[in-house]
Structure 1
Amino acid sequence: MTDVPAPVFRVADAADVPAIVALVESAYRGDSGRRGWTTESDLLDGQRTDAADVAATLGRPDSLILLAEQGGKLLASCHVERLPEAGYFGMFAVDPSQQGSGLGKTVLAEAERLARERWQCRAMHMTVIEQRAELIAWYERRGYRRTGQYKPFPYGDERFGIPLRDDLRFELLVKELPA
């Protein structure tokens, strides 16, 4: 058995926007998303993100998109941002063909390291759709805790998808980061 080389990490730039959008859409929506376990296709239809949203994310101060590549191929990405009280982790996407390989754990750990070292963050925050029990459990196994704090889903704003049910909301998950 041959060892799979570790991914190469880098911070995205404007030229990466189309590839990021394609990766995020493939991981969360439509038939390609159903190949992996992170799909939201049973909860939401429509887009997960678009080029304008990704470009705006890259353009904000203290905000970046971390890319994981292997042999020049984009395998995973995530948004990392400095908040006043913590780092924020979001828009996490792993190529559906790579899900279950351990790549997600590696990317999450790198995002936490980056927030800790770049911005001296002592905690990481994220929001997850409450109905994604298996995804919340995955984050809990990596040290995140449910807070019981919720944010409403942005119904009526198709930039975030078209809801297929009327009870969606986000729960805040928090992890304390080691010094």
Structure 2
Amino acid sequence: MDTAATGLTFRDATDADVDALVALVESAYRGDDSRVGWTTEADILEGQRTDPEGVLDVIKSPDSRLLIVEQERRIVACCQLEHRGDHAYFGMFAVSPTAQGAGLGKTVIAQAERQARETWGVSEMHMTVISVRDDLIAWYERRGYRRTGRMTPFPYGDERFGIPQRDDLQFELLVKPLV
């Protein structure tokens, strides 16, 4: 899909995109590069956010889509959509740190919600966010997501998800009706 007004192109990821997607996700959340944007997790997690195998699993899964957003042929954002019965799961959301703060994230999430509703006929979008990420949760709340108070533990000890710098990390489920 091309949105000419914004110069953005949305498409499904392919195997050829894996390395660029890993680099994008890492740059948005980890290390010094992530500090350029506001979505950094560098103060609460070190190590990796994802890896090529994890990205490829999403691309290959029959119930998932990994949506890529390009601007001038450069990948500037991505998100995962996964069909889970009556709802869709929204994950692996990343916007290039140099493109943050200009409304791109709002555009991407709105497009993802539209596609989930139109493709799968789902009535809700679910996501999980690290519960100490107050600024990020507030951003999602402004987009219509609500906190549920339903928590799942952070996978401490599994470095595929990063190396925690605090001992109070957990994921909270956020939900938005897609009507």
Q: CA shift at 1:85, angstroms?
A: 2.9
- Once the two structures are TM-superposed, the CA of residue 57 in structure 1 deviates from its matched residue by 1.1
The equivalent residue for 1:172 is 173
Give 2:41's aligned residue: 40
Cα displacement (A) at 1:4: 7.4
Shift of 1:5: 3.3
Identity of matched residues, %: 62
Residues in 2 aligned to 1:32 and 1:156: alpha-carbon distance in whole angstroms: 25
* 3-state DSSP of counterpart to 2:53: helix
Structure 2 unaligned spans of 5+: none
1:61 CA displacement: 1.3
Letter of the 2:38 counterpart: W
SS at match of 2:110: helix
Tell me which residue corresponds to 2:144. Answer: 143
Contact 2:154–2:169, Cα closer than 8 Å, also in 1: yes
* SS of alignment partner, residue 137 of structure 1: helix
The offset of 1:58, in angstroms, is 1.0
Q: Following the alignment from structure 2 to structure 1, what is the Cα–Cα distance between the partners of residues 69 and 89? A: 18
SS at match of 1:125: strand
Q: Name which of structure 1's ranges 3-12 and 56-65 shifts more when overlaid on structure 2.
A: 3-12
Relative to structure 1, is the Cα distance of residues 40 and 99 closer, same or farther in structure 2, using a 3 angstrom cutoff?
same
The 3-state SS of whatever aligns with 1:55 is helix
Give the 3-state SS of the residue equivalent to 2:67 in structure 1: strand
Structure 2 length normalisation: TM-score? 0.96
Q: Which structure 2 residues correspond to residues 2-21 of structure 1 after superposition, within 5 A?
A: 5-21=6-22
Letter in 2 for 1:150: M
1:38-82 per-residue CA deviation (whole Å, 9 max, x = no partner) reads 000001000000000100111111101101101100000011100
* Residue of structure 2 in register with 1:87 after alignment: 88
Helix, strand or coil at the partner of 2:114: helix
Query: Which residue of the partner structure matches residue 50 of structure 2?
Result: 49
Cα distance in structure 2, aligned partners of 1:149 and 1:84: 19
Gaps of 5+ in 1: none
**Within 5 Å, which residues of 2 pair with 1:22-171?**
22-171=23-172
Between the two proteins, the alignment pairs up a number of residues equal to: 176
SS at match of 2:70: strand
Letter in 1 for 2:75: L
Q: CA RMSD in A?
A: 1.2
Q: Contact 2:49/2:161 (CA < 8 Å) preserved in 1?
A: yes
State whether residues 7 and 72 of structure 2, in contact with CA within 8 Å, keep that contact through their aligned partners in structure 1. no
